[in-house]
Amino acid sequence: MVKQVPDAADIRFDPITLNLIREGIPSIVNPFCLNALEEGLRLKERFGGTVTAVSMGPLQAQDGLREALAIGADRAVLASDREMAGADTLATSYTLWKTMQRIAENQPFDIILSGKVAIDGETGQVPPGIAVRFGIPIISNVTMIEEIDLESQAIVAKHRFDDGIETVRAPLPAVLTITEEANKPRKFTVEGMLKAKRMKVEVWDKNTMGADPDLLGLKGSPTIVKKVFPPPGRKQGEIFDGTADPRAAAKWLIQKLVSVRALGSSQAESLQTPVQITNPSTIVEMLGQPASKIENSEKFGEVWVFIEHLHGRPAQVGWELLGEGKRLASIYGTKLAALVIGNNVEHLAKDAFAYGADKVYMVDHEQLEDYRTQPYAVAMTQAVRKYRPEALLIGGTVRGRDLAGSAATFLETGLIADCTALDVDTESGTFMGTRPDYGGNLMSTIICPKHRPTMASVRPRVMKALPPSPDGDREIVRMHVDLRKQDLNTNVIEFVPIEKIGVRLEDAQVIVSGGRGLGSAKNFYLVEELARILNGQVGASRAAVRAGWIGFEHQVGQTGLTVRPRLYVAVGISGAIQHIVGIMNVDYIVAINRDPNAPIFKMADFGVVGDIFKVIPALIDELKSGGLAELAPWQKSSTP
Ligand SMILES: Cc1cc2nc3c(=O)[nH]c(=O)nc-3n(C[C@H](O)[C@H](O)[C@H](O)COP(=O)(O)OP(=O)(O)OC[C@H]3O[C@@H](n4cnc5c(N)ncnc54)[C@H](O)[C@@H]3O)c2cc1C
């Protein structure tokens, strides 16, 4: 699958209408689709066969397909019809499925490859939807295809979750989404371009593929965009020119960070005494939201939160969503319920109650020990069909996106991905999800007016968990799930947890990130030393990762991790939009850069203009000696 997207770096909007200005904005092939194409070409080189590039979009999308032909694809098909315009992910997966079904009539396929996400929408929902429609397995976020056995028609691949790397076996045909870790895409050659010029991109309308017009485009889309607006800017921070005196800059910075409690305080916060939560309006107030409520609450279903876990070890995002879910449920005047799916996961019900759930729906089944897309999606679908919640919140993790995309397709409902804010229109009771689009250049508020539940995913660390309250047991609804043999279509061979691979940037309270300004891999020691002293983790810009100075698992940004530490120190990082989108929710951003016009200073709460090779050693020195004495106790004790 090859998607044509506007180049995020050049995106501009009409300031009045907030429409995307298309003229003069270059379109590019979504970078992850190039990874998918590369993987397809490598498979063709190993096993023979053909590579067909498929896309949906306006006629201009032929350009992307022509590029795919120039790179090496054998055939290109574009689904293009006016009635396909305005499609959300459900309608898009329907259209692409119909297109590929039609192709497969004469040319059966073994693998459908797609990029892990498209950089304009970043939802990653279309490939799981296509897998569900074909009734074939999906392996999301593939970092390596280990083995393909054409005789037994099976594939073994490694894929990355937020908490580790899993090796999985699946029967073919299958859908795979490919990460940038998997390969380095080849570029097109002059001969390739000449060949592509002679080839034709096949353009198919709805009749060619036999599509139902009611399921295409806007008509077939459960979600609609209610409004678009520019992203909220951070207020301009304070800048210190440390060019002449780096030590003075270091002292200034430490004093500033201490004054706002950016050093030390968050640890103290996380250790605060649990509070008893009994009154929903108290919670609403705790979360800083107005306690407005809806009339007629009996006509609304419950608010559900999916509790993600790995073999019973919960991901923090579930508790964060319960915190937000509590607020939403109190607006609806309904119950907040946790949906727990797994094997031997009774203990998660207790945790869910402690984090605010009024009720737990429990699907406990021995076949649900490992997370596998299809059986989990089937369990979720059966639970939703039976109990009909109003809204279902899922963590925007790799696992969560994979599950949400599949379940939403089974349920034929709307899924709003990667929301940064959730709310309810108190007049109509409509659930609203707000999310960044076009690489964070624009915010969209999306609703799902006619389908239930509205599903929404939210990345980790965007919402805040309530402090846990050991409040005793509440209602547990145990549910049986019917799993057919064909639902158990993947086998987990191995899982290597992130602890073994190292780094959990998502959980860090302090991150010190290095960029191209460091100049070489060996200079990363400065970033590492500062991170060690601040009891933090090391992050990086994509430029540093691409240069091979540090591993991909450290990358922060659009194609890396979204982080939410208390303190983020950007060392020699310019502040490109693709980096910024990963640090939107950081409490305090510090930038150290010698260029006073670097965009990162527009985001930074505290900026030091100066040479990192002078400022960072001075900062380390000051923290180690006098400066550190001023910090909160946990900081001191964590420093040897
Ligand atoms: C599809 C796509 C996805 C992307 N995803 C990501 C992503 O997830 N994460 C990401 O980070 N980027 C991403 N990028 C890349 C992004 O556009 C930028 O190219 C990248 O962030 C730049 O990294 P940088 O700031 O380290 O390097 P540069 O932009 O080169 O900045 C280096 C900075 O260091 C400063 N500097 C140099 N020497 C010194 C010194 N001695 N002292 C002080 N300052 C110094 C310079 O003034 C400059 O501001 C993506 C791009 C695309 C197209």
Question: Which ligand 1 atom is the nearest neighbour of the CA of 559?
Answer: 8
Mutate to test the pocket of ligand 1, among 11, 120, 541, 612 (most ligand atoms within 8 A of CB): 541
Query: Is any atom of ligand 1 closer than 6 Å to the C-beta of 595?
Result: yes
Do the beta carbons of residue 367 and residue 344 sit within 8 Å? no
Question: Which ligand 1 atom is the nearest neighbour of the CA of 611?
Answer: 42
Tell me how far the alpha carbon of residue 126 lies from the centroid of ligand 1, in angstroms: 30
- CA-based angle 405:407:409, to the nearest 5? 70
Predicted confidence (pLDDT) at residue 377 exceeds the cutoff of 80: yes
- CA-based angle 605:610:616, to the nearest 5? 80
Question: Which ligand 1 atom is the nearest neighbour of the CA of 595?
Answer: 47
Mutate to test the pocket of ligand 1, among 4, 558, 590 (most ligand atoms within 8 A of CB): 558
Which burial class, exposed, middle or buried, applies to 628 when counting CB atoms under 10 A from its CB (0-12, 13-18, 19+)?
A: middle
Using DSSP's 3-state secondary structure scheme, residue 64 falls into helix
Burial state string for 540-573 with b = 16 or more CB within 10 A and e = fewer than 16: bbbbbbebebbebbbbbbbbbbbbbbbbbbbbbb
Among protein residues, the one with the nearest Cα to ligand 1's atom 7 is: 557
- CA-based angle 178:520:165, to the nearest 5? 30
Query: Is any atom of ligand 1 closer than 6 Å to the C-beta of 578?
Result: yes
Question: Which ligand 1 atom is the nearest neighbour of the CA of 612?
Answer: 42
Tell me how far the alpha carbon of residue 540 lies from the centroid of ligand 1, in angstroms: 9
Query: Is any atom of ligand 1 closer than 6 Å to the C-beta of 612?
Result: yes
Tell me how far the alpha carbon of residue 543 lies from the centroid of ligand 1, in angstroms: 5
Query: Is any atom of ligand 1 closer than 6 Å to the C-beta of 294?
Result: no
**How far is residue 268's CA from residue 286's CA, in Å, rounded to a whole number?**
18
Question: Tens digits of per-residue pLDDT, 616-638?
Answer: 999 999 998 864 533 433 333 33
β partners of residue 114: 177
DSSP assigned state of 68: H
Tell me how far the alpha carbon of residue 576 lies from the centroid of ligand 1, in angstroms: 6
Average pLDDT (82-110) is 96
State the pLDDT at residue 570.
Answer: 98
Query: Is any atom of ligand 1 closer than 6 Å to the C-beta of 555?
Result: yes
Query: Is any atom of ligand 1 closer than 6 Å to the C-beta of 156?
Result: no
Tell me how far the alpha carbon of residue 544 lies from the centroid of ligand 1, in angstroms: 8
Tell me how far the alpha carbon of residue 249 lies from the centroid of ligand 1, in angstroms: 23
Q: Where residue 288 falls among pLDDT bands split at 50, 70, 90?
A: very low
Domains and CATH numbers, the chain: 4-221 (3.40.50.620), 238-266+503-637 (3.40.50.1220), 276-491 (3.40.50.620)
Query: Is any atom of ligand 1 closer than 6 Å to the C-beta of 599?
Result: no
Two structure tokens written together for 520: 């070489």
Tell me how far the alpha carbon of residue 593 lies from the centroid of ligand 1, in angstroms: 11
Question: Tens digits of per-residue pLDDT, 446-465?
Answer: 999 999 999 999 987 778 89
Tell me how far the alpha carbon of residue 573 lies from the centroid of ligand 1, in angstroms: 5
Among protein residues, the one with the nearest Cα to ligand 1's atom 42 is: 611
Predicted confidence (pLDDT) at residue 283 exceeds the cutoff of 50: no
Among protein residues, the one with the nearest Cα to ligand 1's atom 41 is: 611
Question: Which ligand 1 atom is the nearest neighbour of the CA of 574?
Answer: 49
State the pLDDT at residue 502.
Answer: 62
Mark out the alpha helices in 225-301 (DSSP H runs). Answer: 246-259, 265-270, 280-286
Question: Tens digits of per-residue pLDDT, 209-263?
Answer: 999 999 999 999 999 999 888 877 667 799 999 999 999 999 999 999 988 877 7
Q: Where residue 507 falls among pLDDT bands split at 50, 70, 90?
A: low
> How many whole angstroms from its chain centre is CA 525?
29
Question: Tens digits of per-residue pLDDT, 562-604?
Answer: 787 889 999 999 999 889 888 887 889 999 999 999 999 998 9
Query: Is any atom of ligand 1 closer than 6 Å to the C-beta of 552?
Result: no
